Amino acid sequence: MTPQDLCYSKEHTWFKMEGDEAIIGITDHAQSELGDIVFVELPGVGDTVKQGEPFGTIESVKAVSDLHAPLSGKITRINQALEDTPETVNGSPYTEGWIIAIKPANMAEKSHLLNAQAYDTYINEEQGK
């Protein structure tokens, strides 16, 4: 089930605000499609990300995929635990498997994202259901 309190991109990333930080990860749908995740390439703290553009990669036994930023901003934290246990993204994509935290540059970008219901509809359309 897609959490209702997050915002989603069509590139299958999500974010939620915690204080002045946006916590970012990939969706359960994305991790399911990828399969067993074996590596996450993390950017550096202090780097900037731009909405819709890649900020790193995620590698599974099936493929390597770009990670796209749902919002623009400056990276304040990375989930360093993923360096040793990238499979955490498979087991807990919305909590322990978060990838980066940013200080958003422009919260108006949120208007380009989907709520949970719209994201579920998008997935169903993408899969031809």
Q: Name, in order, each residue with C-beta under 8 angstroms of 18's C-beta and a sequence gap of 6 or more.
A: 101
The pLDDT tens digits of the residues spanning 2-48 come to 999 999 999 999 999 999 999 999 999 999 999 999 999 999 999 99
The helix (run of H) or strand (run of E) holding residue 60 is strand 54-60
More confident residue, 128 or 80: 80
Give the three-class secondary structure for 123: helix
- CATH 3.30.530.50 is held by the domain 7-126: no
Task: Tokens for 56, please give them.
Answer: 């790193």
Q: Report yes or no: 15 and 27 within 8 Å, Cβ to Cβ.
A: no
- Residue boundaries of the structural domains of the chain: 7-126
User: How far apart are the C-alpha atoms of 118 and 108, rounded to whole Å?
Assistant: 18
User: How far apart are the C-alpha atoms of 122 and 129, rounded to whole Å?
Assistant: 10
Predicted TM-score of the model (pTM):
0.95
